[in-house]
Amino acid sequence: MRREWMEPVIEVQEFVANEYVAACGDGGTVYKFTCDAPAGTLYYYPESDGQIDGNYTGQKWKRQRLGSYEPCNAKHEASVTSDFYDGFVDYNHNLLQDPGEGVIVWRGSNKDNGHATINLNMSSWETTKS
């Protein structure tokens, strides 16, 4: 039996990125949310109760007053690593968080502002990569 010699052949496959390949972590991801809570006196809770959902279950007396609030109705972009807080807009001026007053508060990129949304489900907020 006689063997035939064949020249070696190299096959190269081109890598094509799969749309399911994800980057590590949340770096560069931003939330988009609308500053849409009705006007009133805005408060927030600087200490977390473990969830950011506008329903603070910690020590209510630790609230901080941010002052008179008017919605700017702007769609803000904030990093997912930004500080968001449970808070409330005191519509009836009794200094307490009553049912229907809960909001999520973002203090702005320099923590010197107060923006509030009535959309309490952060997982439903639009996200993008910056």
Task: Tell me what pLDDT residue 21 has.
Answer: 44
Task: Tell me what pLDDT residue 14 has.
Answer: 66
- Whether 126 contacts 77, CB under 8 Å: no
Task: Tell me what pLDDT residue 28 has.
Answer: 82
Per-residue pLDDT of 74-100, as tens digits, reads: 999 999 988 999 999 999 999 999 999
Mean pLDDT of 51-72: 94
What is the percentage of the chain residues whose pLDDT exceeds 90?
Answer: 68
Q: To the nearest 5 percent, what fractions of the chain are helix, strand and coil? A: 5, 30, 65
Segments making up each domain of the chain, as ranges: 34-129
More confident residue, 42 or 20: 42
Any residues with CB less than 8 A from the CB of 82 and at least 6 apart, and which?
31, 106, 109
Task: Tell me what pLDDT residue 1 has.
Answer: 66
Q: Is the pLDDT of residue 23 over 50?
A: no
| Cα–Cα dist 83/105, whole Å | 9
Q: Is the pLDDT of residue 19 over 50?
A: no
